[in-house]
Amino acid sequence: MNDMRLTERAVDSKDVKIAARKVQVFYGETHAIKDVDVDIDDKTVTAFIGPSGCGKSTFLRCINRMNDTIDVARVEGDIHLDGEDIYNPKVDPVQLRAKVGMVFQKPNPFPKSIYDNVAYGPKIHGLAKNKAELDEIVERALRRGAIWDEVKDRLQEPGTGLSGGQQQRLCIARAVATEPEVLLMDEPCSALDPIATAQVEELIDELKQNYSVVIVTHSMQQAARVSQKTAFFHLGYLVEYGETGQIFTNPKDSRTESYITGRIG
Amino acid sequence: MPTLWLVLIILALAAVGYVVGRQRALASSGGNAKLLHSLPSYYGANVSFAVIIPAIGLLILWLLVQPAWIQNRVADMIPEGAIPEGATLGLVMSDVERVATGLNLAVEQGAMSEEDASSIRTEFTDVRQRLGEVGVALGSNVDAPVLRAAQRYREMSATGNTWMTVAVLAAALFGFVSSLAVTKAGFRARNTVERVILIMLMVAASIAVLTTLGIVLSMLFETRNFFQQYPWTSFFFGLEWAPDFRGNSNLSIIPLLWGTLYISFIALLVAVPIGLFAAIYMSEYAGPRVRSVAKPLIEILAGIPTIVYGLFALITVGPLLRDYFAMPMGLGESASSVATAGVVMGIMLIPFVSSLSDDIINAVPQAMRDGSFGLGATHSETIRQVVVPAALPGIVGAILLAASRAIGETMIVVLGAGAAAAQFDRGLGELVNPFEAMTTVTVKIVSQLTGDTDFAAPETLVAFALGLTLFVITLGLNVLALYIVRKYREQYE
Of A69, A111, A175, the CB nearest to B375: A175
Q: How many residues are given for chain B?
A: 493
Query: Where residue A1 falls among pLDDT bands split at 50, 70, 90?
Result: very low
Task: Return the pLDDT at B217.
Answer: 92
Distance CA B343, CA B188 (A): 62
Chain B residues touching residue A103 (CB < 8 angstroms): 374
Looking at CATH, the fold of the domain delimited by B235-488 is given as MetI-like fold (1.10.3720)
Q: Where are the domains of chain B?
A: 3-187, 235-488
Q: List Cβ neighbours of A84 (8 Å cut-off, separation of 6 or more).
A: A91
Q: Does residue B148 have a pLDDT over 70?
A: yes
Q: Which of A64, A72, A110, A113 to mutate to test the interface with B (most CBs of B within 10 A)?
A: A110
Q: Do A69 and B369 touch (CB under 8 A)?
A: yes
Strand ranges (DSSP E) for chain A?
Answer: 16-27, 30-41, 45-49, 73-81, 84-85, 100-103, 182-186, 212-216, 229-234, 237-243
Task: Return the pLDDT at B450.
Answer: 85
Mean pLDDT, chain B, rounded, equals 87
Distance CA B240, CA B248 (A): 12
pLDDT digit string, tens, across residues B230-260: 998 999 998 888 888 777 888 899 999 999 9
Q: Do A64 and B374 touch (CB under 8 A)?
A: yes
pLDDT digit string, tens, across residues B426-450: 888 888 888 888 889 999 999 888 8
Task: Return the pLDDT at A4.
Answer: 47
Of B370, B375, B491, the CB nearest to A121: B375
Q: Do B376 and A71 touch (CB under 8 A)?
A: no
Closest chain B C-alpha to A119 CA, distance in angstroms? 11
Task: Return the pLDDT at B354.
Answer: 93
Question: Percentage of chain B with pLDDT > 90?
Answer: 40
Chain A residues touching residue B493 (CB < 8 angstroms): 160
Residue A104 lies in a domain: yes
Q: Does residue A184 have a pLDDT over 90?
A: yes
Helix (H) or strand (E) holding B242: strand B241-242
Query: Where residue B72 falls among pLDDT bands split at 50, 70, 90?
Result: confident
Task: Return the pLDDT at A8.
Answer: 46
Distance CA A206, CA A189 (A): 16
**Could you tell me if A170 and A200 are in contact, meaning their C-beta atoms sit under 8 angstroms apart?**
no
pLDDT digit string, tens, across residues A25-45: 999 888 999 999 999 999 999
Q: Do A125 and B492 touch (CB under 8 A)?
A: no
Q: List Cβ neighbours of A28 (8 Å cut-off, separation of 6 or more).
A: A72
Q: Do B375 and A101 touch (CB under 8 A)?
A: yes
Task: Return the pLDDT at B67.
Answer: 86
- Nearest chain B Cα to A110, which residue? B368
Average pLDDT rounded to a whole number, residues B157-183: 91
Average pLDDT rounded to a whole number, residues B450-469: 85
Closest chain A C-alpha to B199 CA, distance in angstroms? 41
Helices B40-75 & B89-109, crossing angle to 10 degrees? Answer: 120
Mean pLDDT, chain A, rounded, equals 88
- Nearest chain B Cα to A99, which residue? B376
Of A96, A101, A110, the CB nearest to B386: A110
Q: Do A111 and B381 touch (CB under 8 A)?
A: no
Q: Does residue A221 have a pLDDT over 70?
A: yes
Task: Return the pLDDT at B101.
Answer: 83
Residue A265 lies in a domain: no
**Could you tell me if A113 and A158 are in contact, meaning their C-beta atoms sit under 8 angstroms apart?**
yes
Q: Do B375 and A120 touch (CB under 8 A)?
A: yes
Distances B114 to B103, B108, B156, B438 between C-alpha atoms, Å: 9, 9, 15, 64
Helices B144-182 & B89-109, crossing angle to 10 degrees? Answer: 70
pLDDT digit string, tens, across residues B212-235: 899 999 999 989 989 998 998 999
Average pLDDT rounded to a whole number, residues A257-262: 86
Task: Return the pLDDT at B223.
Answer: 92
Task: Return the pLDDT at B343.
Answer: 94
pTM above threshold 0.95 = no
Closest CA to A184 of A192, A176, A196: A176
ipTM here:
0.86
Distance CA A35, CA A40 (A): 16
pLDDT digit string, tens, across residues A155-181: 999 888 898 889 999 999 999 999 899
Q: Which domain holds residue A183?
A: 5-260
A159 contacts chain B (CB < 8 A) = no
A108 contacts chain B (CB < 8 A) = yes
Of A99, A101, A160, the CB nearest to B492: A160
pLDDT digit string, tens, across residues A66-87: 888 888 888 999 999 998 899 9
Chain B residues touching residue A97 (CB < 8 angstroms): 373-376
Query: Where residue B195 falls among pLDDT bands split at 50, 70, 90?
Result: very high
B79 contacts chain A (CB < 8 A) = no
Q: Does residue A203 have a pLDDT over 60?
A: yes
Task: Return the pLDDT at A230.
Answer: 93
pLDDT digit string, tens, across residues B75-112: 877 777 777 766 677 777 888 888 888 888 888 777 77
HSE at residue B15, side-chain half, CA atoms within 13 A, is 6
Task: Return the pLDDT at A79.
Answer: 92
pLDDT digit string, tens, across residues A128-138: 889 999 999 99
For chain A, the domain total comes to 1
Average pLDDT rounded to a whole number, residues B172-182: 92
CATH classification of the domain holding A67: 3.40.50.300
Of A69, A96, A111, the CB nearest to B390: A111
Closest CA to B236 of B78, B404, B441, B431: B441
Q: Does residue B55 have a pLDDT over 90?
A: yes
Task: Return the pLDDT at B86.
Answer: 64
A101 contacts chain B (CB < 8 A) = yes
Chain A residues touching residue B365 (CB < 8 angstroms): 108
Average pLDDT rounded to a whole number, residues B300-329: 90
Distances A207 to A43, A184, B2 between C-alpha atoms, Å: 8, 12, 88
